[in-house]
Amino acid sequence: MSTAEQDRKDAPLEAGLRQEIAALAQHAGHKRAAGTDALKLVQKRFGYVSDRHLAEVAALLEMTPAELDSVATFYNLIFRRPVGRHVILLCDSVACWVMGATAARAQLHERLGINPGETTADGRFTLLPIVCLGHCDHAPAMMIDEDQYGDLDPAGLDAILEGYK
């Protein structure tokens, strides 16, 4: 990530985004109930939720940063560190493990040069492990961004990756 891009990502939340979060809180009836949705909005805008933005959202929702961070930590699709343009969530729960998730992970490592928790040098992909995606009948399974994939095999996995630039 360039310095300019990092500066942009660390900029304060714009007025429009703050208003969207306030509207979410009002709709939820209880400000704290809007925590996950507010963090998703920030992540959609910036790609992840920085400490600065977490603290700003917490203040808007009348929570402490630690309280809101516990929401973010519990909800494992909120990223608290910068991620690549596309996030691969590879299931590592039992059904997928039995059906070949280890081979899929090895293939991802071979093709992309990253291990779980890492981002490619070009910022194209971040690979993260995740618990069951609820797609066990098509294990091994993964998600890339909002897209779900199952029955992963070597050729299919390569073709899927090609779709994400």
Q: List interacting residues with ligand FES (CB under 6 A).
A: 91, 93-96, 132-136, 139, 141
Q: Which is nearer to ligand FES, 132 or 144 (CB)?
A: 132
On whether the CB atoms of residues 140 and 104 are closer than 8 A, the answer is yes
- Closer of 22 and 132 to ligand FES (Cβ): 132
Of 11, 21, 127, nearest to 79 by C-alpha is 127
Closer residue to ligand FES (CB): 26 or 102: 102
Q: Kindly list the distances between the CA atom of residue 61 and the CA atoms of 54, 76, 77, 123, in Å, as whole numbers in the listed order.
A: 11, 20, 20, 32
Backbone torsion region of residue 29, taken as left when φ is above 0, otherwise alpha when ψ lies between -120 and 50, otherwise beta: left
